[in-house]
Structure 1
Amino acid sequence: MMYRFFALVWIFQVLLANTQAQTNELPSISFRDFEIPSSPIIDSTSHAVVILEKGRSDIQVDDGERELRVIHRYGVRIKILDKEGFDKANYVIPLYKIGNKFETVSQIRGYTHYIDGKIQTVEMDKGAIFHEKMNEFVNLSKFTLPNITENCIIDIEYEIQSPDIFNYRTWEYQDDIPKLYSEYTAIIPALYNYNVTLTGFYKLTDERSRLLKDYFLLNGRRQDCSQLTYIMKDIPAFHEESYMLAPKNYKSAINFELMQYYSTNGARQNLTKEWKDVDRELLSNRSFGGQINRENNFKHILPEMYADGDSEEVKARKIYRYIKNQIKWNRIYGKYSQFGVKEALERRNGNVGDINLALISACGAAGIEAYPVLVSTRENGLPKTIHPVISDFNYLVAQVRVNGKNYFLDASEENLPFGLLPLRCINGSGRIIYSKKSSEWIKLENEINASTHFDITGNIDEAGQFKGNIRITYQGLDALNHRNYIRRFSSLNTYIEERMNNSANMKIEDGDIYQLDSLDNNLVESYEVSMDFSDNIGEKNFAFNPILINRMTKNPFNLEERSYPVDLGSKQKESYTISIQLPKGFHIERQPKNTALALPESAARYTYQSQYEEGRLMLKQELALNKAIYEVDEYFHLKEFYSRIIQHQKVDFAFTKK
């Protein structure tokens, strides 16, 4: 759900006189702060609660640097309800690199308040603050508040200076704990035109605006500003659950996007472009279109990649394999080339942009149609589709077209087969950039479903000892995930040993892995196993559950209400074929009912069928999730669907001996 409202304000392009803005300090602590009111947003899952949160952003001049800075002031008061809420006293402030400069933080203050006859306050020592580099683009400031106890209150305040004068911070109203009150104020100088957008499920409680006359001095003239305040009260905690995109896609938040500004002579400058303008800029960019056109890097080595008689699809597959082998991913994302195709080939490593632009260029040299597709990864958030925001994208894949069929390719992933995208790239839509026509949105999805099949065969003897075989077949994203996991081990034997050592109820006697390197084929694991059912078998009766591995015991969907879709990344299927010979003389006394469950329009389906003939128990079970995405209004049905499956799988087979 999205609510739009617009703030028309104005800007400058030269330095402004430094105007000292009012600080955003929290009010004095009182006994009333320790009395948390009864509220439906606070329940047994709440281990801490935000009493008050305030933020304020405005622009000032850095006298030393003679540059403009956006000053973000932040203050929060949190009550710790129990020991599980103690982690809220461990605080991290991320500082981002803007251009060639990092944001900086100052005036960090922390206080712990508790009642000991009267309100006692302990101030955090400055030595408790630590700074570290997370990566090339993010620094972190960390600290822990002192004297944390149940029912204490902590206050945190700080100020961030950012060189990014064209953007105000996104203000997130929702967090993983409830908030009683959250307020954000933006003071925006004249001549800026911002699109201000509220995203998420919850509406604002109040919004206010006022004109600040003559707030800034520009070229000897006073300039007006708009003060915009947005308030939300009684905000429930945002609970993350399995199968979701980045939380920031769904949390209630205020976002500021600069649309246009006016120069001092009154000329309007538009920052919102059309896609045709972005297409032209990308294709003329040396690190983007300039790398696609480097076909000469490959024409002389094409005979190394494929044979003249190969079909177009075979050529594309061999080129894909060649690029994967020649350029190893350095674990850096990017929609642009980091080193350039030529240098990446020489270095034999590069970022995602280097690798997939090289793939597109090599396909072009072979006369195969291939195009770049801009992607925002799942953790980066969904890209805006209303108008171009190039900074929304942090990744690049290729689309290759052969014999009238389209294939998504990402050559950065070692264990990824031809035509499959990794889960990180399955995130709404991507933007495919053509060379001779306008770009367009294209849905990011995998045609190959994720599936896992268990084939279990064996015998149970008179003493209740089971011996048999388990064969597991993986396809699609399930195969990719399992190949990646196996590759973490130094050898296949080490992986199989780990399997043997960590099978609690099952003893693995021997095992093997098939088609680990044959990425276009299913991955197969095969094990000889034994299990002890002696405690389950008597002279006259026997009971056991034949789903010996990976039985579903916990529902992945537990929220009372989920305000965001269930996104699996692809359609999924899990199935079992089981055949077990029992000792002679046992007759079936009780068994789970043969059943078929389905959601409306067969959005999901579960089937369970068993039969017992001549001492052999045969069972087939299949769970098919026939949609990659389930909308909010389908959540309750999906949750209940899983609950019924779990209850059904709890029922053992019971046998008696006559």
Structure 2
Amino acid sequence: MMHRFFALILIYQVCFSNTHAQTNELPPISFRDFNIPDSPIIDSASHAIVIIEKGRSDIQVDEGERELQVIHRYGIRIKILDKEGFDKANYVIPLYKIGNKFESASHIRGYTHYIDGKIHTVEMEKGAVFHEKVNEFVNLSKFTLPNITENCIIDIEYEIRSPDIFNYRTWKYQDDIPKLYSEYTAIIPAVYNYNVTLNGFYKLTDQKSRLLKDYFLLNGRRFDCSQLTYIMKDIPAFHEESYMLAPKNYKSAINFELMQYYMTNGGRADLTKEWKDVDRELLSNRSFGGQINRENNFKRILPEIYAEGDSEEDKARKIYSYIKRQIKWNKVYGKYSQFGVKEALEKRNGNIGDINLALISACSAAGIEAYPVLVSTRENGLPKTIHPVISDFNYLVAQVRVHGKSYFLDASEENLPFGLLPLRCINGNGRIIYSKKSSEWIKLENAIKASTHFDIAGKIDDAGQFKGTIRMIYEGLDALNRRNYIRGFSSLDAYIEERMNNSASIKIEEGTIYQLDSLDNNLVESYEISMDFSDNLRGTSFVFNPILINKMTKNPFNLEERNYPVDLGSRQKELYTISVQLPEGYHVERQPKNTALTLPEAAARYTFQSHYGADTLILKQELSLNKAIYEVDEYFHLKEFYSRIIQHQKVDFAFTKK
């Protein structure tokens, strides 16, 4: 689509006037810049502050390459307040691949200003800029400014040339340090119509528009431009909170999306499509629908993957395992195939698109219902749902349907079981693309809770020595995370040894891991353990807290005010079952009360039950978080809920000898 659009535009011989050669320089440095005014946005957590930030973007034609480009000029002035702010002098400019070309950075300049009776300025050397290729889609230009000291000021200026005229340039007002002033100017030719949206909590301080008459030539005629300036002042730093989606979902920023453009004959071309148009383009795209239709790659080998008498679900499971073995993920995301299914199978290597399009194609070859689902990963941000924005999506998973049940599948990871999505994919809604009807939004969630069960059994002797077993049973994302962690060790023995060496008061005698490779079953760790409770003996009294592992001591929700939803990524469950035999002759003097705490609408539940009889303490504790996402107005309840659990777990059992 992009190449067709460029071809249409370039035949009109767009010629911009020389006024576009203006630069976006920062104002001259002055003593006033070193005297930061008192401001509520600056606090003890502020180690640096943006004094001024300015950007300017416009569209030009690169005559040599014969393509349209967005020229983005940027300048920022930062005051370093203390040593913890020195990292702001280590600057990185990310440059992305758009289509088949990379963005480029030029005119990179850096200055360090400091006061010694007068203002001294040290310019960064030209050779200080280093270029790094992260992968085939991202390059970095990196540099460090010289002579950094406390209370110095740094200036950074550069220019980026980008072929991405569809999204123009996103201007990010909010960052991890406060800003006193941020200004962005967009110069947009009258023949282009962009949808401009402001995201985030903070609103613009000022907005200006100016008509630039006869600003450029288009096919022999002069046309106007709109110069749009958006200003925001006194912007607090963005502080990331625990259990939240990507910060880009919440930071204040202004975004541009090309909706339509006008041709010199008066005709209008609309770029904002309906989903049915996007569906058709995707399914006809060689790197998307063209790969799903490569069923011949699999029909010949299907008899080697599953048996003729297998059920439809068994076939789907075996195909899923086959694709995981045959194509190793190269750690590159993508909704499109990078190499193509055939080549990825031959190379045994590919991106997310290669892997999951191969999975869909193989299932289709076996007569199993399978569809691609477009996903925006958690770090990529939530996709827009008002109208199709295909660039919002950076990932692809499959949905298969067998015997009336639907399963999300992602064949990219060795330890991912059938029907479970990794946490990176749990991000709002995905778009499922059908072949014979219109696509639709579908909730991305795992049917199975992330669950850990601690099962402890043992005996305490008269000297206060405990011997017993502990079993940890993992399910869902908890099992995936633990399997990934275990696989990071050179062997199971190395992992168990690490457990033995880092178990604090618990001494592990020996251990066994069960079902590490049986991904559809729970992962189980079992250990023979011993503990010394002799210090808990006081004559005829014995004090004991049976929550021996993973005891909650700190509230994970401790903010006075929460600004963003709590997103756990999955419903969660933690269960303790404990059976401890004490020496004969003890009775209970004090014990935690049996209790049940529940949040409104059963959003979360905590239960604690214990029984002591026949010299044996039996205890069951269960914490269930029944929602993956808790809204801001639920935060106080969640915080109080955890506070009460922590207070309850602090209460020990006290026993007295009869």
Range of TM-score over shorter length: over 0.9
Q: Residue 558 and residue 87 in structure 1: after superposition, are their counterparts in 2 closer, same or farther (change >3 A)? A: farther
Counterpart of 2:15?
A: 16
Q: State the alpha-carbon separation in 2 of the partners of residues 162 and 155 from structure 1.
A: 23
Counterpart of 1:165?
A: 165
Q: Residue 508 and residue 370 in structure 1: after superposition, are their counterparts in 2 closer, same or farther (change >3 A)? A: same
Q: State the alpha-carbon separation in 1 of the partners of residues 653 and 127 from structure 2.
A: 63
Q: Deviations over 1:589-626 (max 9, x none)?
A: 44333332222111111222333334433322211110
Counterpart of 2:3?
A: none
Q: State the alpha-carbon separation in 1 of the partners of residues 169 and 17 from structure 2.
A: 21
Offset of residue 519 of structure 1: 1.0
Of residues 228-237 and 40-49 in structure 1, the stretch that sits farther from structure 2 once superposed is 40-49
Q: Is the CA contact 1:15–1:66 (under 8 Å) kept in the aligned structure 2?
A: no
Query: What is the DSSP-based 3-state SS (H/G/I as helix, E as strand, rest coil) of the residue aligned with 1:212?
Result: strand
Q: Residue 312 and residue 61 in structure 1: after superposition, are their counterparts in 2 closer, same or farther (change >3 A)? A: closer
Q: Is the CA contact 1:604–1:627 (under 8 Å) kept in the aligned structure 2?
A: yes
Q: State the alpha-carbon separation in 1 of the partners of residues 169 and 595 from structure 2.
A: 53
Counterpart of 1:395?
A: 395
Alignment of 1:645-656 (within 5 A): 645-656=645-656
Counterpart of 1:7?
A: none
Q: 1:325 and 2:337 equivalent?
A: no
Q: 1:175 and 2:168 equivalent?
A: no
Counterpart of 1:492?
A: 492
Counterpart of 2:340?
A: 340
Q: State the alpha-carbon separation in 2 of the partners of residues 600 and 116 from structure 1.
A: 62
Counterpart of 1:458?
A: 458
Q: Is the CA contact 1:344–1:350 (under 8 Å) kept in the aligned structure 2?
A: yes
Code of the aligned partner of 1:255: N
Of residues 160-169 and 87-96 in structure 1, the stretch that sits farther from structure 2 once superposed is 160-169
Q: Residue 147 and residue 389 in structure 1: after superposition, are their counterparts in 2 closer, same or farther (change >3 A)? A: same
Counterpart of 1:522?
A: 522
Alignment of 1:626-645 (within 5 A): 626-645=626-645
Q: Is the CA contact 2:17–2:215 (under 8 Å) kept in the aligned structure 1?
A: no
Percent identity, aligned pairs only, is 86
Q: Residue 652 and residue 81 in structure 1: after superposition, are their counterparts in 2 closer, same or farther (change >3 A)? A: farther
Counterpart of 2:562?
A: 562
Counterpart of 1:412?
A: 412
Query: What is the DSSP-based 3-state SS (H/G/I as helix, E as strand, rest coil) of the residue aligned with 2:538?
Result: coil
Code of the aligned partner of 1:198: L
Q: State the alpha-carbon separation in 2 of the partners of residues 67 and 291 from structure 1.
A: 29
Q: State the alpha-carbon separation in 2 of the partners of residues 547 and 149 from structure 1.
A: 50
Offset of residue 18 of structure 1: 4.7
Q: State the alpha-carbon separation in 2 of the partners of residues 588 and 151 from structure 1.
A: 63
Offset of residue 15 of structure 1: 3.4
Counterpart of 2:82?
A: 82
Q: State the alpha-carbon separation in 2 of the partners of residues 277 and 66 from structure 1.
A: 28
Offset of residue 497 of structure 1: 1.2
Query: What is the DSSP-based 3-state SS (H/G/I as helix, E as strand, rest coil) of the residue aligned with 1:406?
Result: strand
Q: State the alpha-carbon separation in 1 of the partners of residues 119 and 340 from structure 2.
A: 62
Q: State the alpha-carbon separation in 2 of the partners of residues 460 and 83 from structure 1.
A: 53
Q: Residue 75 and residue 577 in structure 1: after superposition, are their counterparts in 2 closer, same or farther (change >3 A)? A: same
Q: State the alpha-carbon separation in 2 of the partners of residues 499 and 400 from structure 1.
A: 39
Q: Residue 466 and residue 371 in structure 1: after superposition, are their counterparts in 2 closer, same or farther (change >3 A)? A: same
Of residues 54-63 and 419-428 in structure 1, the stretch that sits farther from structure 2 once superposed is 54-63
Q: State the alpha-carbon separation in 2 of the partners of residues 552 and 113 from structure 1.
A: 49
Q: Is the CA contact 1:398–1:408 (under 8 Å) kept in the aligned structure 2?
A: yes
Q: CA RMSD in A?
A: 2.1
Alignment of 1:48-197 (within 5 A): 48-62=48-62, 64-65=64-65, 67-197=67-197
Give the TM-score taking structure 1 as reference length: 0.93
Q: Deviations over 1:364-388 (max 9, x none)?
A: 2222211111111112221121111
Structure 1 gaps of 5+ residues are: 1-10
Query: What is the DSSP-based 3-state SS (H/G/I as helix, E as strand, rest coil) of the residue aligned with 1:592?
Result: coil
Q: Is the CA contact 1:52–1:78 (under 8 Å) kept in the aligned structure 2?
A: yes
Q: State the alpha-carbon separation in 2 of the partners of residues 36 and 599 from structure 1.
A: 46
Q: State the alpha-carbon separation in 2 of the partners of residues 645 and 176 from structure 1.
A: 33
Aligned residue pairs total: 648
Q: Is the CA contact 1:470–1:529 (under 8 Å) kept in the aligned structure 2?
A: yes
Offset of residue 224 of structure 1: 1.3
Q: State the alpha-carbon separation in 1 of the partners of residues 636 and 25 from structure 2.
A: 43
Q: State the alpha-carbon separation in 2 of the partners of residues 353 and 256 from structure 1.
A: 27
Q: Residue 31 and residue 463 in structure 1: after superposition, are their counterparts in 2 closer, same or farther (change >3 A)? A: farther
Counterpart of 2:307?
A: 307
Of residues 150-159 and 88-97 in structure 1, the stretch that sits farther from structure 2 once superposed is 150-159
Q: Deviations over 1:435-462 (max 9, x none)?
A: 1111111111111111111011122333
Q: Is the CA contact 1:201–1:563 (under 8 Å) kept in the aligned structure 2?
A: no
Q: Residue 67 and residue 285 in structure 1: after superposition, are their counterparts in 2 closer, same or farther (change >3 A)? A: closer
Counterpart of 1:623?
A: 623
Offset of residue 16 of structure 1: 1.4
Q: State the alpha-carbon separation in 2 of the partners of residues 474 and 511 from structure 1.
A: 16
Of residues 213-222 and 273-282 in structure 1, the stretch that sits farther from structure 2 once superposed is 213-222
Q: Is the CA contact 2:49–2:78 (under 8 Å) kept in the aligned structure 1?
A: yes
Offset of residue 234 of structure 1: 1.9
Q: State the alpha-carbon separation in 2 of the partners of residues 255 and 429 from structure 1.
A: 21
Offset of residue 502 of structure 1: 1.9
Counterpart of 2:512?
A: 512
Q: Is the CA contact 2:50–2:181 (under 8 Å) kept in the aligned structure 1?
A: yes
Of residues 123-132 and 571-580 in structure 1, the stretch that sits farther from structure 2 once superposed is 123-132
Q: 1:368 and 2:368 equivalent?
A: yes
Counterpart of 2:244?
A: 244
Q: Residue 69 and residue 338 in structure 1: after superposition, are their counterparts in 2 closer, same or farther (change >3 A)? A: closer
Offset of residue 629 of structure 1: 1.0
Alignment of 1:20-39 (within 5 A): 20-39=20-39
Q: State the alpha-carbon separation in 1 of the partners of residues 121 and 587 from structure 2.
A: 73
Q: Residue 608 and residue 300 in structure 1: after superposition, are their counterparts in 2 closer, same or farther (change >3 A)? A: same
Code of the aligned partner of 1:563: N
Query: What is the DSSP-based 3-state SS (H/G/I as helix, E as strand, rest coil) of the residue aligned with 1:209?
Result: strand
Q: Deviations over 1:126-155 (max 9, x none)?
A: 333221111111111112223333333222
Code of the aligned partner of 1:545: N
Q: State the alpha-carbon separation in 2 of the partners of residues 68 and 284 from structure 1.
A: 26
Code of the aligned partner of 2:420: L
Counterpart of 1:286?
A: 286
Of residues 271-280 and 472-481 in structure 1, the stretch that sits farther from structure 2 once superposed is 271-280
Q: Residue 166 and residue 285 in structure 1: after superposition, are their counterparts in 2 closer, same or farther (change >3 A)? A: closer
Counterpart of 1:226?
A: 226
Q: State the alpha-carbon separation in 2 of the partners of residues 146 and 594 from structure 1.
A: 63
Q: Residue 558 and residue 230 in structure 1: after superposition, are their counterparts in 2 closer, same or farther (change >3 A)? A: farther
Q: State the alpha-carbon separation in 1 of the partners of residues 428 and 300 from structure 2.
A: 38
Q: State the alpha-carbon separation in 1 of the partners of residues 147 and 655 from structure 2.
A: 61
Code of the aligned partner of 2:423: L
Q: Is the CA contact 1:18–1:61 (under 8 Å) kept in the aligned structure 2?
A: no
Of residues 599-608 and 52-61 in structure 1, the stretch that sits farther from structure 2 once superposed is 52-61
Q: State the alpha-carbon separation in 2 of the partners of residues 637 and 31 from structure 1.
A: 50
Q: Deviations over 1:502-557 (max 9, x none)?
A: 22222211001111111111111101112233333333444343212112223333
Give the TM-score taking structure 2 as reference length: 0.93
Of residues 52-61 and 645-654 in structure 1, the stretch that sits farther from structure 2 once superposed is 645-654
Counterpart of 1:431?
A: 431
Query: What is the DSSP-based 3-state SS (H/G/I as helix, E as strand, rest coil) of the residue aligned with 2:15?
Result: coil
Counterpart of 1:476?
A: 476
Counterpart of 1:501?
A: 501
Q: State the alpha-carbon separation in 2 of the partners of residues 109 and 154 from structure 1.
A: 11
Of residues 306-315 and 215-224 in structure 1, the stretch that sits farther from structure 2 once superposed is 215-224
Offset of residue 489 of structure 1: 1.6
Q: Residue 447 and residue 35 in structure 1: after superposition, are their counterparts in 2 closer, same or farther (change >3 A)? A: same
Q: Deviations over 1:624-645 (max 9, x none)?
A: 1100111122122222322332
Q: Is the CA contact 1:374–1:431 (under 8 Å) kept in the aligned structure 2?
A: yes
Q: State the alpha-carbon separation in 1 of the partners of residues 250 and 291 from structure 2.
A: 36
Q: Residue 594 and residue 30 in structure 1: after superposition, are their counterparts in 2 closer, same or farther (change >3 A)? A: farther
Offset of residue 585 of structure 1: 4.5
Q: Deviations over 1:238-276 (max 9, x none)?
A: 111222222111111100000000122221111111111
Q: Residue 18 and residue 138 in structure 1: after superposition, are their counterparts in 2 closer, same or farther (change >3 A)? A: farther
Query: What is the DSSP-based 3-state SS (H/G/I as helix, E as strand, rest coil) of the residue aligned with 1:51?
Result: strand
Query: What is the DSSP-based 3-state SS (H/G/I as helix, E as strand, rest coil) of the residue aligned with 2:165?
Result: coil
